[in-house]
């Protein structure tokens, strides 16, 4: 009887720990602080540039809420610059589609800093998806000296993907904790 009681205790403890982690992550991953759209110098689409992110960026730019567009793209595949209409078509504003080095949130933040220095930008709207907002905000604020506005543009996120994002984003935060620079 004792092994069963021990197993139940261990299982209950693991379940309680998982529930605690899930609840603790709600304000970080599920309900992060986002910003209302407002005019900024540049709208940045973090990669991969999925349709809902690009559409949100275009909506903001068409509404006059940005002067330029940066799109973080991979070097190949369906989200590469060569495959995205937003990167290949003419627009009334400058569009910069590049592969950040490295192709990570940190690389994207460094690219934004480089563009800030080149263009003298003092504000940016950054578009990503909800589970990534908090960690991306930390990265962007470390690199960009101006105002950062974070906006979520989401596809439907299935429950298993939420679980994966909790793990992925948490591991990303651990990495951020050990890196103090841009």
In a domain, residue 19? The reply is: no
In a domain, residue 7? The reply is: no
Identify the pLDDT of residue 167.
Answer: 93
pLDDT tens per residue across span 87-138: 999 999 999 999 999 999 999 999 999 999 999 999 999 999 999 999 999 9
Q: Specify the CATH number for the domain of residue 60.
A: 3.40.50
Identify the pLDDT of residue 73.
Answer: 98
Identify the pLDDT of residue 8.
Answer: 64
Q: Is the dihedral of CA 134, 136, 148, 145 positive or negative?
A: positive
Identify the pLDDT of residue 17.
Answer: 64
In a domain, residue 4? The reply is: no
In a domain, residue 39? The reply is: yes
Identify the pLDDT of residue 33.
Answer: 96
In a domain, residue 65? The reply is: yes
The pLDDT averaged over each successive group of 10 residues in the chain (182 residues) is: 71 66 76 97 98 98 98 97 96 98 97 98 98 97 98 92 92 91 91
In a domain, residue 22? The reply is: no
Q: What span, in angstroms and rounded, lies between the C-alpha atoms of 135 and 147?
A: 16
What's this model's pTM, rounded to 2 decimal places? 0.90
In a domain, residue 28? The reply is: no
Q: How many independent structural domains does the chain possess?
A: 1
Q: Is the dihedral of CA 29, 31, 33, 38 positive or negative?
A: positive
Other C-beta atoms lying within 10 Å of the C-beta of residue 161: 13
Q: Provide φ and ψ at 135, rounded to 5°.
A: -65, -40
- For 163, the domain range is 34-177
Other C-beta atoms lying within 10 Å of the C-beta of residue 152: 18
Q: Give, as one character, the DSSP assignment of residue 120.
A: T
In a domain, residue 97? The reply is: yes
């Amino acid at each position: 009887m004792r092994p069963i009681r021990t197993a139940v205790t261990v299982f209950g403890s693991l379940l309680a720990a998982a529930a605690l982690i899930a609840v603790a992550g709600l304000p970080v991953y599920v309900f992060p602080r986002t910003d209302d759209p407002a005019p900024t110098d540049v709208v940045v689409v973090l990669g991969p540039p999925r349709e809902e992110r690009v559409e949100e960026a275009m909506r903001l730019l068409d509404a006059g809420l940005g002067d330029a567009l940066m799109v973080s793209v991979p070097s190949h595949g369906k989200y590469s610059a060569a495959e995205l209409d937003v990167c290949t078509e003419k627009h009334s504003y400058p569009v910069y589609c590049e592969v950040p080095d490295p192709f990570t949130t940190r690389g994207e933040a460094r690219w934004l800093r480089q563009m800030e220095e080149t263009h003298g930008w003092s504000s940016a709207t950054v578009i990503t998806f909800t589970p990534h907002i908090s960690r991306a905000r930390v990265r962007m604020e470390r690199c960009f000296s101006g105002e950062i506005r974070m906006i979520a543009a989401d596809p439907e996120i299935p429950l298993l993907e939420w679980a994966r994002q909790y793990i992925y984003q948490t591991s990303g935060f651990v990495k951020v904790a050990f890196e103090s620079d841009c």
